[in-house]
Amino acid sequence: MSMIQRIIKPYISFSDVEKDLKEVFKTGIFTRGKYAQSFRDAIRKYTGAKYSFLTTSATTALWLSLKTIGIKPGDEVAVSDFSFPATANVVEDLGAKPVFVDVDVDTFNMLPEELQKKITPKTKAVIFVDALGNPSGILKIKEICKKHNIILIEDAACAFGSRVGDLKCGNISDITCFSFHPRKLVTTGEGGAITTNIKKYADFFEIKLNYGAVFRKKRWDFINYGYNFRLSEINSLMGLKQVQKMEEIIKHRKKARKAYVDYLEPLGFTIQKANKNVMHNLQSIVFKLPENINKDKLIGYLKRNNIESTIGTYCLSKTSYYKKYNQVQPHAKLLEETTITLPCFQGVDIVYICRKIKVFCKTKK
């Protein structure tokens, strides 16, 4: 029996952090220490952004971003419809209305022409999702936001390391939010980050992420209310070690993508596309299925053969909670029903996986 082929395994081991971890325990500094600062600096330098901040997750990063720009009840926020529910949940939590925008069936990202249709005088922000790490199309969305004086927040939960031309994700939008969940290329267990080039936002983040405090006249003064969304030293140490080998991680993902494409495209599978000027970090390797293949049956078959797989992600407008707001967006619905995410961890047995898929496809003809 083959070993279990999991969706992903982190690109970090205990040996990577052992020496520094001993130092953390020796000093007893578990928060706001040198590793948190170093990780924060590494994110800023890697992305090219002027300012960076650590958070407990991409969800708290998105929520705080909406607070920063003053989203309130009655406002509307345009949201990519093919995403994890957290993208819309933060809008809902602040009393605003998420307006779902359909996506491109090839890149899985927000369609500019669909966004244009959804903009109203109540639209205060757009949350563009780099679907599965792919930032294709974001520059056109940025142009629309600039034209209408709308703030662009990039849900780059999956996109650390991706870029458009020479601009890395984190240095494109007004505000960018990253995730360091275990399925991401860089993981801290749980964690996130915010980047921006806009000083007034950076000043707000600095205060809000420190309980509303500033240091003045040799003491802390609380000039606002704030939160504890901080990342610990141990989490930060993990993230720092992975940022230092990002190019190696992305190189591995590209190799895995090519191997899958070589095996599966002849069977009618179609890989998620990236625009020519885009470098997609391949946070997930996702295929659209041939018309005669049932997604759920294939996922079940792979599970019985020790292969973990899942859907691409969710059509938010189709969920029981959010369908109250809008009509279901057809492209996002189609993608939820016809996409599959395959294992892409280092050491994955792609040949074994593809052979099993080929057997399954033969039985469906």
Q: With a cut of 50, say whether residue 102 has pLDDT above it.
A: yes
For residue 93, the SS3 value is helix
What is the mean pLDDT of the segment spanning 36-40?
97
- Strand 192-196 to strand 51-55: parallel, antiparallel, or no bridges (unpaired)? antiparallel
Claim to verify: residue 305 and residue 162 sit in the same structural domain: no
Claim to verify: residue 153 and residue 274 sit in the same structural domain: no
Q: With a cut of 60, say whether residue 197 has pLDDT above it.
A: yes
Q: Residues 278-287: pLDDT tens digits?
A: 999 999 999 9
Claim to verify: residue 174 and residue 62 sit in the same structural domain: yes
Domain of residue 163, CATH code: 3.40.640.10
Task: Tell me whether residue 105 is in a domain.
Answer: yes
Claim to verify: residue 176 and residue 59 sit in the same structural domain: yes
Task: Tell me whether residue 5 is in a domain.
Answer: no
Q: With a cut of 90, say whether residue 137 has pLDDT above it.
A: yes
Task: Tell me whether residue 7 is in a domain.
Answer: no
The helix or strand, by DSSP H or E, that contains position 233, with its residue range, turns out to be helix 233-243
Task: Tell me whether residue 220 is in a domain.
Answer: yes
For residue 48, the SS3 value is coil
Claim to verify: residue 275 and residue 186 sit in the same structural domain: no
Domain that holds residue 24: 14-243
The pTM (predicted TM-score) of the whole model is: 0.95
The CA-atom distances, in angstroms, between 19 and each of 39, 235, 241, 261, 326 are: 17, 15, 12, 40, 53
Number of domains in the chain: 2
Dihedral class, residue 213 (left if φ above 0, else alpha if ψ from -120 to 50, else beta)? beta
Q: Residues 319-331: pLDDT tens digits?
A: 999 988 879 999 9
Q: Which of 221, 243, 265 is the last residue of a domain?
A: 243
Claim to verify: residue 200 and residue 76 sit in the same structural domain: yes
How much is the pLDDT for 1? 46
Claim to verify: residue 90 and residue 32 sit in the same structural domain: yes
Task: Tell me whether residue 4 is in a domain.
Answer: no
Claim to verify: residue 73 and residue 191 sit in the same structural domain: yes
Q: What angle is formed at CA 159 by the lines to CA 153 and CA 165, rounded to 5 degrees?
A: 85
Domain of residue 280, CATH code: 3.90.1150.10
What is the mean pLDDT of the segment spanning 20-41?
95
Residues 6+ apart with CB under 8 A from 33: 24, 27, 233
Nearest to 126 by CA among 91, 93, 94, 161: 91
Separation between Cα atoms, residue 160 and residue 201, nearest integer Å: 20
List the structure tokens of 177. Answer: 């939010």
Task: Tell me whether residue 203 is in a domain.
Answer: yes
Claim to verify: residue 34 and residue 131 sit in the same structural domain: yes
Using CB atoms within 10 Å of the CB of residue 337, give its burial: 0 to 12 exposed, 13 to 18 middle, 19+ buried: middle
How much is the pLDDT for 2? 60
Per the DSSP assignment, residues forming a β-bridge with 221 are 214
Q: Residues 221-272: pLDDT tens digits?
A: 999 999 999 999 999 999 999 999 999 999 999 999 999 999 999 999 999 9
Contact 336, 311 (CB under 8 A): yes
The CA-atom distances, in angstroms, between 242 and each of 23, 152, 185, 334 are: 19, 28, 8, 35
Separation between Cα atoms, residue 35 and residue 248, nearest integer Å: 22
Q: Which of 214, 243, 272 is the last residue of a domain?
A: 243
Task: Tell me whether residue 28 is in a domain.
Answer: yes
Q: Which of 186, 210, 243 is the last residue of a domain?
A: 243
- Per-residue confidence at 365, pLDDT binned at 50, 70, 90? low
Separation between Cα atoms, residue 40 and residue 195, nearest integer Å: 10
pLDDT, averaged across the chain: 96
- Strand 192-196 to strand 213-216: parallel, antiparallel, or no bridges (unpaired)? unpaired
